[in-house]
Amino acid sequence: MILYTFVAALGGLVFGFDTAVINGALPFFTKHFDLSHAMQGWAVSSALIGCIFGALFIGRPGDTYGRRYMLKVLAILFIVSSIGTGMASSLTIFVIFRFIAGLAIGGASVLSPMYISEIAPPKQRGRLTATFQLAIVIGILVAFFSDYLLINTGPENWRWMFIAGLIPGLALFILLFFVSESPRWLVKMGRMEAALDVITSVNTEADPHQTLREIQDSINNEVIGKNIYLFKKPYLKLVMIGIAVGMFNQFTGINIIMYYATDIFRSAGFSTNSAIGQTVIIGLTNLLFTLIAMSIIDKVGRKTLLLVGSIGMTIFLGLFAFLFKSGNTGGFWILGLLIGFIAFFAASQGAVIWVLLSEMFPNNIRARGSSIGSFSHWFFNALLSFLFPVVTGAFGVGNAFVFYAFATFVSFFFFLFFLKETKGRSLEELEKHMLAK
């Protein structure tokens, strides 16, 4: 169980590294390619457009070829994109390889947490699936730290920042040869003995034969084979909730901070080196509060964490917007408010989103439903990331964060009225619970 979770979570580490490494590299490749605000936004969001396609189209191959096989394919894309981006001779080549990185990130955001949720015992599923988010956070921290270490490696230091992603991508590819396929995918393929072996090895407390029968009973091959069922009752409501979960996650502005923190600190008067150093502090905060969330998610529940987090984030985002709009950005107030925001995000939405998207959909539509929820996450991520340099150039950082604070406040009421608690149930029990009126 620990081995399988660790290997699948490595997809999250590469995901985190590849999304955040651009933060420290941004000032240097912007100067190298002489980018305008709009082209800077395009350079950042090109990977996110790849994420949209990767998340949207990974569901069917994941169902056809299996979670493990497709994760191997994604690992190869991670490796190729790291080398290609670092060696790019023009902005066009840079964007092409960042798009390929995005395909891998988007696919991993669907398959890695889904794989973990499909092998995890019910009582540990939240904590184990949240390991994926922990790995993302570690990947982000490693990216921030490696960017900081590579600042003084010459005028083309940004190239080494991207090439460093080769190491975790290679580790993911190699270790995937040491794990088995998801038991629920094996049942879909009719490989009952193999599924029984995996169930027995990862969940010693449950009756493996009963678990196997429950999985078999929950699978409807007709629904699995046709996408049209995703948009019909009883599944449509879950799909719409999944889309909203992905949207509200990005409307917190979390990835704006992950991608543009260096520029935000520089706009507040800090030097480039100091700004990159402060992103390491943000990364450490993210890691600490993700660990706290993992320790309580199966006790407190997903919904409670989301509600508390929404209120906390709204307060810190509002104060952050107020400081920028008032022009009072001196000292370390900006860093303190961002740390507060990151703490509430990591302890709530950061830990919960991938858990929720990987477990809320029934066996019949899990890969495709999770794919749509992840697509929503990446679509709004790309949209906001592209617009951020343009909007802040025209209206200022403060006004952008007013929007994030308001949207996060609205998300509280969405979670309160539309989400059902998912903790402590098997995926098959959860299926009946989520589809019940």
3-state DSSP assignment of residue 387: helix
Which pLDDT band, with edges at 50, 70 and 90, does 222 fall under? very low
Q: What are phi and psi for residue 53, nearest 5 degrees?
A: -70, -40
**Residue 292: per-residue pLDDT:** 93
Question: 168: cis peptide before it, omega within 30°?
Answer: no
Which pLDDT band, with edges at 50, 70 and 90, does 81 fall under? very high
CATH topology assigned to domain 2-179+220-435: Growth Hormone; Chain: A; (1.20.1250)
| Residue 113 neighbours by CB distance under 10 Å | 30
Mean pLDDT in the chain?
86
Section 145-174 average pLDDT: 90
Lowest average pLDDT, out of 34-38, 263-267, 365-369, goes to 263-267
Residue that the structure tokens 């107020």 belong to: 322
Q: What is the maximal distance between C-alpha atoms in the chain?
A: 66
Contacts 24+ apart (CB under 8 A), 82-86: 82/18, 82/162, 82/163, 82/164, 82/165, 82/166, 82/169, 83/163, 83/166, 85/162, 85/163, 86/159, 86/160, 86/161, 86/162, 86/163
Which residues are CB-contacts of 218 (< 8 A; sequence separation ≥ 6)?
A: 362, 363, 364, 427, 428, 431
**Residue 383: per-residue pLDDT:** 87
Which pLDDT band, with edges at 50, 70 and 90, does 228 fall under? low
**Residue 218: per-residue pLDDT:** 67
Section 159-182 average pLDDT: 92
Section 149-163 average pLDDT: 89
Interatomic CA distance for residues 77 and 13, integer angstroms? 15
pLDDT, tens digit, 9 for 90 and up, residues 367-385: 788 888 889 988 998 888 8
**Residue 64: per-residue pLDDT:** 87
Q: What are the C-alpha distances in Å from 405 to residues 18, 155, 249, 345, 365? A: 27, 38, 12, 12, 33
Q: In this model, does residue 160 exceed pLDDT 70?
A: yes
3-state DSSP assignment of residue 120: coil
Section 95-104 average pLDDT: 94
Which pLDDT band, with edges at 50, 70 and 90, does 99 fall under? very high
Copy the structure tokens of residue 26: 């941004």
Q: Is 37 or 109 the better-scoring residue by pLDDT?
A: 109
Burial of 341 (0-12, 13-18, 19+ CB in 10 A): buried
Lowest average pLDDT, out of 143-147, 216-220, 280-284, goes to 216-220
Which residues are CB-contacts of 147 (< 8 A; sequence separation ≥ 6)?
A: 21, 23, 24, 25, 161, 276, 279
pLDDT, tens digit, 9 for 90 and up, residues 289-336: 999 998 999 889 899 999 999 999 999 999 989 988 887 766 678 888
Q: Is 137 or 424 the better-scoring residue by pLDDT?
A: 137
Q: What are the C-alpha distances in Å from 32 to residues 10, 91, 92, 156, 164? A: 32, 10, 13, 8, 19
CB 63, CB 364: distance < 8 Å: no
Q: In this model, does residue 188 exceed pLDDT 90?
A: no
